[in-house]
A = this chain, B = another copy of it.
């Protein structure tokens, strides 16, 4: 392996490890949602230094609010921490492919990176129903999908088996 190839490989390994680290934090929040009887989806927002600055979990039933998705909650907290609606340079990791509302919030907040776990065939808007980030909104975050997707999907499957 050449030196350049080695550096590239190391960068990819680092990226995969980082993605999985954030996804594990998001999974922890998804488990908290499940414990509260909510569809288990969790999300974290991290800044350029790698610090987690926003956390969210689905609270749709608890708050009786159609907008109470994990991503919006994590984005709101991150905006509050930074004192700005502009999260350029930051990234988001969420256990389930974002719906159009949350993918739209990523665009509005100018988040630079989106990491997601399981696919959502009915409302996923980062490739499943449509890919909002390929439309002409003038903002195209880097996307890493399928991160720890089996863990994310298993949590959802167990939750839905439990309530049936």
Whether B64 and A84, one on each chain, are in contact in the complex, defined by CB atoms closer than 8 angstroms, is yes
Count residues on chain A whose CB falls below 8 Å from chain B CBs: 41
Give the distance in Å from the alpha carbon of A138 to the alpha carbon of B108 in the complex. Answer: 24
Assembly stoichiometry (copies):
2
Contact with B along A66-88 (1 / 0, CB 8 A): 11110010011001101111110
Interface of A, helix, strand, loop or mixed by DSSP: loop
CB of A65 to closest CB in B, whole Å: 5
Whether A104 and B109, one on each chain, are in contact in the complex, defined by CB atoms closer than 8 angstroms, is: no
User: Which single member of B107, B129, B137, B138 contacts A136 (CB below 8 Å)?
Assistant: B129
A161 within 8 A of B: no
A-B contact pairs, 6 of them (CB 8 A): A60-B85, A64-B83, A66-B75, A66-B87, A66-B105, A67-B75
